[in-house]
Amino acid sequence: MGCEAQMLHQHEDNGLLPVLVPDGLGLDLGSPPDSLELIPYDLALPATDNQKRARAMVVAVPDVDSAASYMTTLPRLELVQALSAGYEQWVGRLPAGVKLANVRFVHGIGVSEWVLAVLLSHFRELPDFAASQSRGQWNWHATGTLVGKSVTILGAGDLAIRTRDLLALLHCDVTLVGRTARDGVITMESFLPRASAADVIVIALPLTPATTRVVDAEFLARLRPGAVIVNAGRGALVDTEALMRAAQAGQICGILDVVDPEPLPEGHPLWTSRGITITPHIAGAVPDVWPRSWKRAVNNLQAFAAGRDPEDLTEES
C-alpha cells in the first residue's frame, strides 16, 4: 500500500462506508442510508482528499473515459456501483481488483411497457392513422392485432419475464430463449430450427462477446416474411447493415430503441430505411427509474459495507 493510501486508510470513517455519488445523488432523499457516508463528486474536478477516502463509487454517466480516469486517482476504491442493468461499457475499464455491481430488477418494468406499446402501435397501425389525421383524412380500415401472436424473446432475465407476462394478457404464445434450457426457457440451438414460426422477436439480451451481432444476416434469413424485430437490449446485438438490407427488401420490420452506432449520427441511412422505427433509447426513461435504481444500489452498497458481496455483483467481478 502506498504512502498516500496508508494515510487515507488511517482516516477515521466512523464505521461508515465512504461512497462517491454523482451530482449529490441520494443526498436529497432525507437521512443518509444506514452504514453509508455519501460524498458528492464531479468528474470535471480533481478528486479531493475527502473523495479519495471512498471505497465505493456510484456511476451514472455516459462519459466512461472520464469516469475510468477519475477512478485511477482513488487509492481505496474497491467497488463501482452502476445505476443501469447493462454494464458492458465498464468491462475492462476499472482499476485492477475493483469489483462491479449493476442494478437488476429495476429497468424491466419500464422497458417491457415500451415493448408492449410499440408492438400495439405497429399492429394497430397507429402511425398511419396519425398521418391520416394530419392530412384530415378519415382512413377507415381494419388493422392487424397483437392478440395471439407468436413471440420469441431472446433473453430470460427480468425484462424478458416482465415482457412475457404483459404479452400473456393478450394471449400471445411467448417463448424465452436463454443460455441454458430450463422450465419455460429454451436454448438458441433449439429455437433456430423453428425461427420461421415467430411473428415477433424481442431482443432482451445483455451485450457480451458471445451475444454481439447475434441477430445477423443468417438469423434474419430464418424468419418469416413480415416478422417484427424489437430491440430493447443493446444496439450491437444486431448487425445494423444486415437489418437494413432485410428491412429494405420488405422481409422484416425493425423497431429499435437502441442502435449501433449510438447515438445514431445525422444522415445515417437507418433513419430513413424502409420498415424501421427508432426511438432514442428511452424505453426505460420513466419518472421513477432513478429512485428505484438508487434504492437497489443502496441495498448493494449496504451489503458491501457489511462485508458481503452485493446481490447484483456482475460476472466480471
pLDDT in tens, 205-260: 999 999 999 999 999 999 999 999 999 999 999 999 999 999 999 999 999 999 99
Mean of pLDDT values over 191-201? 97
Q: Comparing 32-41, 68-77, 125-134, 277-286, which segment has the lowest mean pLDDT?
A: 32-41
Confidence (pLDDT) at 317: 61
The radius of gyration of the chain from alpha carbons, rounded to an integer in Å, stands at 23
pLDDT of 30 higher than 60: no
| Cell numbers 451475444: residue | 211
- The better pLDDT of the pair 316, 92 is held by 92
Helix axes 126-134, 108-123, angle to 10 degrees: 60
Domains of the chain: 3-106+288-305 (3.40.50.720), 146-278 (3.40.50.720)
- Contact assessment for residue 84 and residue 102, using Cβ atoms and an 8 Å cutoff: yes
C-alpha cell at 126: 397507429
Confidence (pLDDT) at 298: 94
- Give the pLDDT band of residue 63 (cuts 50, 70, 90): confident
Mean pLDDT across the chain, nearest whole number? 92
C-alpha cell at 170: 393478450
Helix (H, G, I), strand (E, B) or coil at 116: helix
